Amino acid sequence: MLTGPMLIMAFVIALAFLFLLIIKWKVEPFLALTVTAFGTAIAIGIPLKEVPGVVTSGFGNTLTGVGILIGLGVIFGSFLGASGAVEKIAGSLLKLFGIKKSPAGLALTGTVVSIPVFFDAAFVILSGLVKSLATRTGISMVTFVTALGIGLITSHNMIAPTPGPMVVAENTGSDLGLFILYGIIVAIPATLVGGFLYGKYIGKRVQSTVTVDDSAAPEEAASNRNEISTGLSFGMLILPIALILMNTISKMLFPGTGLATFFGFVGDKNIALLISVLAAIIVLRPYISDNYNSLYSESISTAGMIVLITGAGGAFGAVINHSGIGDYLITTMQSWSIPVLLLAFIFSQILRASLGSSTVALVTTSSIMGPLIVDLGVSPILLGLAICAGGIGLSLPNDSGFWVVNRFGKLTVTQTLKVWTLGGFIAGLTALASVYVLSLFSGILPGL
C-alpha cells in the first residue's frame, strides 16, 4: 500500500479526478463519488478483496448517522413549508434584525442552535428558512446558505457540549465551563466574518440555481388555507431542537437516572425528528392545503438522492481514512518548528481536510498535543481553542457534510467549494485570530 508523500499525492489526484468528473464531465455526483472511492482504494494499494468492504462499510457507517435523519428532515421541512410556518418564522427574523442584517440573524441563529444539535440535523431543520428569507428580502439565497452553514459549523467545532470540543477540553485538561465561555467568545466573530460578511460578499458573485419564482408559491397557496400563528410556527421548529437539548441537559444534570434514560431516547436526533414529523402531520393539518400523498412523494424523492450522495461521500472518506494518511500527517507535522497555537491549528485543519471529519480531526489533534501542554508552556484553553478553530474549514467532497450543504443548499459543486469550503476556512482563520487576541490577556483573564 502507498505510504509517505505518495499517499498525499494519491489523495490530491483523487480529488482532482472527482472534480473533473462532476464539474467538467457532468457525471452525477453519486456515481462520480462511487467510482472515485473504488478507484482510489485500488490505486493506494488496498488489497482487492478488501476494497468492496472498505467502500460499502464507509457508505453504510455514514448513513447510520444521517440516513434516517435526512429522510425525516426533508419530510419535516416539507410540512413546515406547506403550512406557512417557515414564512412566519422568516417574517419574525426580518422584524427582529431587519432586511439588511437578516443574514447575520440567521448566522447567529445557527450558532445558537448548533450548540445542542448536531450540524447535519440543524442544517436540515433550518434549511427551509433559507429559501423563504431569500424570497422575502431579495438577498441572494447563496448569502443565506453561507450564513446558516458557517454559523452552524462554527459552534459545532468551538462550543461544547458537541463531541469534538468536549473531547478537546478533556484531552487538554481545560476547565469545561471556561472552555465553553471562551469558545462562545471566539465563535461569534468567526460566525459574523465567515458567515455574514463573507456570505454577503460571495452572494453577489455566485448565482443561485434556485430562482425567486420557485419560491413564490407559498403566498398564492396561503389564500387556500388557514393562517398559522407565529407561536405555533416557532413551536414546531423548536420541538426537535428542544428534545435534543433536553437529552444533553439531562445527561449533564441527572446522569444514570430514569429521567436521563427517557430523554436519552426521545432526545436522540432520529427519534426527536420522528416525533416532530408525527406532530407536524397532526398539528399542521388545518394549515396545509396540499395533498399529503404528493408531499410525501416529493420529500422521499428528494431525500433518496441526498442519502445516496451523502453515503457515497462517506465511502470516499472511509477509503482515505483506511489509507493511513492521518498517521503520516501526524508524524510529519510533529517535526515542524512553528508557534504552538499555529501548529495546533494547522494540524487540525489538515486532518479536517484529508480525513473529511471535523470531530476526528479535533479528537486526533488534541490526543497528540494534549499530553504535551506542560512541555509546550501554553494555556490549555488557548491550545484547545486553536485546535477547535482548525476543525471549522476546508470541508471537501470526502466530508459527508459537504454534500448535505450541497444538496439542501441547492448548490453546484463549484458553488459549494466557494460558499462552504472557503467560507469555513475564513471562519476558521478568524477564530484563530480571536484566540491570539485572547492570548494577549493571558494571566489576566481567568483560565488563560
CA-based nearest residue to 413, from 17, 29, 5: 29
- pLDDT given for residue 225 in this prediction: 63
Around Cβ 95, how many Cβ atoms within 10 Å? Answer: 10
CA distance 420 to 288: 33
Determine phi and psi for 44, rounding to 5 degrees. -85, -5
Identify residue 54 by its one-letter amino acid code.
V
3-state secondary structure of 442: strand
* DSSP summary character for residue 444: T
- pLDDT given for residue 232 in this prediction: 95
Determine phi and psi for 325, rounding to 5 degrees. -65, -30
In a domain, 134, yes or no: yes
Q: pTM for the full model?
A: 0.82
CA distance 367 to 107: 31
In a domain, 187, yes or no: yes
In a domain, 340, yes or no: no
Which residues lie across from 445 on neighbouring strands?
Answer: 442
In a domain, 248, yes or no: yes
In a domain, 10, yes or no: no
- pLDDT given for residue 34 in this prediction: 95
Determine phi and psi for 445, rounding to 5 degrees. -80, 145
3-state secondary structure of 28: coil
Number of domains in the chain: 1
- pLDDT given for residue 392 in this prediction: 94
327: part of which helix (H) or strand (E)?
helix 325-333
In a domain, 33, yes or no: no
Chunked mean pLDDT (size 10), the chain, 448 residues:
88 91 89 94 94 94 86 89 87 89 91 79 87 91 95 92 84 87 94 96 84 46 72 92 86 90 92 94 92 88 86 88 81 78 92 85 84 83 96 89 92 94 97 96 87
In a domain, 294, yes or no: yes
* DSSP summary character for residue 419: I
In a domain, 264, yes or no: yes
Q: What is the 3-state secondary structure (H, E, C) of 187-230?
A: HHHHHHHHHHHHHHHHHCCCCCCCCHHHHCHHHHHHCCCCCCCH
For 259-320, where are the E strands, in sequence order? none
CA distance 134 to 210: 10
- Residue numbers of the domain that contains 210: 63-309
